[in-house]
Amino acid sequence: MHFSELDLKPEILEALTTMGYTELTPIQEKTFLPILNGRDLLALAETGSGKTAACSVPLVQRIDASLNVIQALILVPTRELALQYVEEISKISRLADIVPFAVFGGFPMEIQEGKLRDGVHILVATPGRLIDFLYRTTSIDLSSVRTVVLDEADEMLKMGFIEDIDFILSCLIHEHQTLFFGATMPEEIDRLTRTYLSRPVRVELNKERVAPQSLAHHFQFTGRHDRLKALIEYLTRERISQAIIFCNSRHHGEKLLKELGGKFESIAYIHGGLEQSRRTAIFERFRRSEIAFLVATDVAGRGLDFSGVSHVINYDYPYRPESYTHRTGRTGRMGRSGIAMTFVTHKELGDLKSLFKINHIDPVWHGNIPNIQNIKRKGYRGPRIRGGKQFKEKTLGPLTT
């Protein structure tokens, strides 16, 4: 389906055409009409499937620009995703006189409060900062909100926002539409769905696959002390337009930056401890392709869309399968091809079986690979090998769960 086939306001359709949006992605096609018709919605889809636009376009279509009140509230887990939402909505609504705005921590409340008093139609917020406003000021009036959106709802629960979300949703006692978007369905989302959604439309496009289909999953087995050498060799030999290199901790990221800084140009490091202005500046430089390699903690692992990223590299093996999904989803987005490279040490071998099963991964191995006869799944034909040979079982032993 094309956007031109929808009954959109002319100014919105013109903006979408300028943005290069012609055909709807599957998640957009499945959710557009239910949102326009005011239905509650639970939408689960792979990362990079176009969920931001799936939410933003119908929201902008429903806004009455003549009413200078908050008509839509979007809750997101991170500041960066909040800013990305505002940027996307601003482009879609640039000809429609609709005002989006984001409130989040790490930025003076007084400045945000002044903008809210000037008038906002679509408010994007992180839960903590929104609660700060609800408790401490009278500048936010949510009584005219017609639609509430929880984007990356599963990640907000993992980050400990469940009580904040309960509080915010309980404050909206008038009738309104509620939309949940996510990539996975943890137990707490099921509870929120039963509590706050009324006869919701359920859209689940990721039952068979959570990761983008255009994403190739590469792995390299390496000793813990040889991992840095393996990474440098990989960055040197691969044709990489841009890469995000994930570490599990701020300390590991700082150490890796020092090691890579003297060998590669155009490299930066992003983590949650940076001031918001610094984080925003780095992300914007990365979006403009002024940075080739971005070392990052999981602050860059959810929701953000970087169109130029050809590779995601897990230098540190992610703690959870969900983290793998969301990290690697920074490439292979919207049908674009991408490669996810993960370095695996001996202590992580036991996790591979569940990772491959949960994410439906057909791995491509670089160099020597461990014996994987015990992690075959239904329909799995064994490893594809890119160079090297398979380890003997007596060296590593079989993989176990």
Which two structure tokens, joined as six digits, stand for 314?
């897990």
Beta bridge partners of 272: none
Supply the pLDDT for residue 378. Answer: 36
Which two structure tokens, joined as six digits, stand for 292?
């080739």
Query: Is the pLDDT score of 392 beyond 60?
Result: no
pLDDT grade for 380, boundaries at 50, 70 and 90 = very low
CA dist 9 → 3, 58, 132 (Å): 11, 10, 36
Q: Which top CATH class is 3-204?
A: alpha beta
- Pick from 147, 178, 153, 206: which is nearest to 41 by CA? 178
| HSE-CB for 341 with a 13 A CA cutoff | 24
pLDDT grade for 281, boundaries at 50, 70 and 90 = confident
DSSP helix/strand/coil, 218:
strand
CA dist 337 → 53, 164, 216, 330 (Å): 20, 37, 8, 11
Phi/psi for 83 (5° steps) reads -65, -35
Answer whether 238's CB lies under 8 Å from 311's CB.
yes
Phi/psi for 61 (5° steps) reads -60, -35
Span 189-203, average pLDDT: 88
Question: Which of 281-290, 339-348, 359-368, 384-393 is least confident?
Answer: 384-393
Which two structure tokens, joined as six digits, stand for 84?
């990305």
pLDDT grade for 327, boundaries at 50, 70 and 90 = confident
Q: What is the pLDDT of residues 223-248, one digit of tens each?
A: 888 999 999 999 999 999 999 999 99
Answer whether 183's CB lies under 8 Å from 84's CB.
no
- Pick from 340, 302, 314: which is nearest to 256 by CA? 314
Q: Which residue has the higher pLDDT, 298 or 40?
A: 40
Supply the pLDDT for residue 369. Answer: 72
Supply the pLDDT for residue 371. Answer: 63
Phi/psi for 371 (5° steps) reads -70, 125
Rounded CA-CA distance 325/393 in Å is 29
- Pick from 293, 310, 305, 182: which is nearest to 247 by CA? 293
Question: Which of 26-30, 318-322, 351-355, 384-388 is least confident?
Answer: 384-388
Please state, as a whole number, how many other Cβ atoms lie within 10 Å of the Cβ of residue 307. Answer: 11
User: How many degrees, rounded to 5, is the angle at CA 50 between CA 112 and CA 246?
Assistant: 75
- CATH placement of domain 215-396: 3.40.50.300
Query: Is the pLDDT score of 399 beyond 70?
Result: no
Answer whether 312's CB lies under 8 Å from 341's CB.
yes
Supply the pLDDT for residue 302. Answer: 59
Q: What is the pLDDT of residues 248-277, one digit of tens each?
A: 999 999 999 999 988 898 999 988 788 877
Total length of the chain: 401
- CATH 3.40.50.300 domain residues, the chain: 3-204, 215-396
Span 369-394, average pLDDT: 45
CA 268 to chain centre: 20
CA 87 to chain centre: 15
Span 63-67, average pLDDT: 94
Q: What percentage of the chain has pLDDT greater than the value 70?
A: 85
Residue reference for tokens 């009580």 = 163
Average pLDDT of the residues of the chain? 83
- Pick from 84, 78, 80: which is nearest to 55 by CA? 84
User: How many degrees, rounded to 5, is the angle at CA 199 between CA 197 and CA 201?
Assistant: 90
DSSP helix/strand/coil, 200:
coil
Which two structure tokens, joined as six digits, stand for 153?
């709802």
Please tell me what DSSP assigns to residue 340: E
